Structure 1
């Protein structure tokens, strides 16, 4: 499997980084909520928001990977291996 190709343009990379930095800020916010003994349900709601944000980033990356890396592998005759790898990632991601 050829792993040297980047699946993101500079714009996509910045979009993903910005989303991850936002998630990082949310995690810090939850840490502060725990330190301040905030209501458990409020913490759980914030954790749910983080999970949703990470899934959104993950789906974005999977879409880019499919359109770029998997499509190129199919064109080069290595589609089966690339599709198998993608399916394993999808299974892991959906747990």
Structure 2
């Protein structure tokens, strides 16, 4: 799968969030602030996962139509990836 700049930029933003989280911990910020940073990073990861899986699913279904394969297995795999990510 080709990971375009949009996906890579999302991951870079998540990387920045995690660095900010570590900085907040080093500065002994309040628990609430640290947990909020963690939650934001987790939500950003969840959105990135959904984007990657949906793009891959779309690509696989296009390829499936060209080759005549069943899309049912492809959809099941995509759902399993999303469930596994949670």
Which TM-score applies when normalising by structure 1?
A: 0.76
Higher helix share: 2
Distance in 1 of aligned mates of 2:72 and 2:47:
26
**Paired residues, number:** 85
Could you list the per-position Cα deviations for residues 23-80 of structure 1 after superposition, in whole angstroms to 9, with x for gaps in the alignment? Answer: 1011011111111111010010111111111111111112211111233224421434
Gaps of 5+ in 2: none
Which TM-score applies when normalising by structure 2?
A: 0.83
Output the aligned Cα RMSD.
Answer: 1.7
Runs (4+) off by over 6 Å: none
2:53 aligns with one of 62, 72, 84 = 62
1:71 aligns with one of 47, 62, 66 = 62
